[in-house]
């Protein structure tokens, strides 16, 4: 009988711990909105990637540039890594607009950014140039769905719901 009571008590405890508040995790701060992250983290990070390799043709002729020093390459790596990790920030509670499409779009951005990071580690300017386009597409794919005048378009779930 004692064992039986113990089992019932354990079951009740288990039920309580499942149905109640989720276990407290680290005190993540999510006060910075998606818009603030975009303007102050993702956009400048992407510029480090997009501006790293390029060609300009003007009256003085053709000017090509690519990262040269270790310091230059570190800037590209910084941009790529910041983008890859910002996907995690965008998937956090309060920022994620839904739990499927939004998550997949962020994963696609993180994958593209990690390829760019590897290309920067390999110091491959052509690949950085090509992957810049791939990364841009992942930004654009999300913006077409979620950054539109009609704020509800593409949202499976209301923010915070
Ligand atoms: C998973 C979705 C998603 C991805 C990926 C994404 N964005 Fe955004 N972005 C948004 C949303 C949503 C907004 C509109 C924010 C709002 O107004 O609440 C936005 C807005 C912006 C803005 C305007 C910010 C402002 O001033 O309000 C910039 C700039 C921007 N994104 C840049 C980028 C760049 C660069 C990338 C890729 C490297 C990117 N975004 C990837 C969802 C995304």
Q: Give the model's pLDDT for residue 94.
A: 94
Domain extent, residue 88, equals: 32-146
Residue 23: its pLDDT value, please?
A: 75
Number of domains in the chain: 1
Q: For all residues of the chain together, what is the average pLDDT?
A: 87
The answer to whether residue 23 is domain-embedded is no
Query: For the whole model, what pTM was predicted?
Result: 0.83
Is residue 128 situated within a structural domain?
yes
Report how far residue 103's alpha carbon sits from residue 91's, in angstroms, rounded to the nearest whole number: 6
Question: Would 100 be classed as within a structural domain?
Answer: yes
Between the CA of 141 and the centroid of ligand 1 the distance, in Å, is 10
Tokens of 149: 């005048």
- Name the residue of 111, 139, 141 whose CB sits within 8 Å of the most ligand 1 atoms, as the mutation to test its pocket: 139
Nearest to 125 by CA among 133, 134, 116, 136: 116
What is the DSSP code string of 31-81? -S-HHHHIIIIIHHHHHHHHTTSEEEEETTEEEEE---SHHHHHHHHHHHH
What is the pLDDT at residue 159?
47
pLDDT at residue number 155: 46
Low-confidence ranges of the chain (pLDDT < 50): 153-161
Is 92 inside a domain boundary?
yes
CATH code of the domain in which 57 resides = 1.20.120
Q: What percent of the chain has pLDDT over 70?
A: 79
**Does 110 map to a domain?**
yes
Residue 42 CB less than 6 A away from ligand 1: yes
């Amino acid at each position: 009988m004692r064992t039986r009571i113990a089992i019932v008590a354990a079951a009740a405890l288990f039920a309580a711990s499942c149905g109640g508040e989720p276990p407290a995790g680290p005190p993540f701060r999510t006060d910075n909105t998606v818009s603030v992250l975009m303007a102050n983290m993702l956009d400048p990070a992407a510029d480090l990637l997009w501006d790293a390799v390029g060609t300009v043709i003007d009256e003085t002729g053709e000017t090509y540039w690519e990262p040269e020093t270790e310091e230059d390459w570190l800037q590209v790596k910084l941009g790529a890594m910041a983008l890859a990790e910002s996907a995690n920030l965008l998937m956090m509670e309060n920022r994620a607009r839904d739990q499927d499409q939004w998550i997949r779009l962020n994963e696609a951005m993180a994958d593209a950014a990690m390829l760019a990071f590897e290309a920067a580690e390999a110091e491959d300017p052509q690949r950085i140039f090509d992957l810049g386009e791939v990364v841009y597409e992942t930004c654009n794919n999300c913006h077409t769905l979620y950054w539109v005048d009609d704020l509800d378009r593409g949202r499976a779930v209301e923010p915070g719901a």
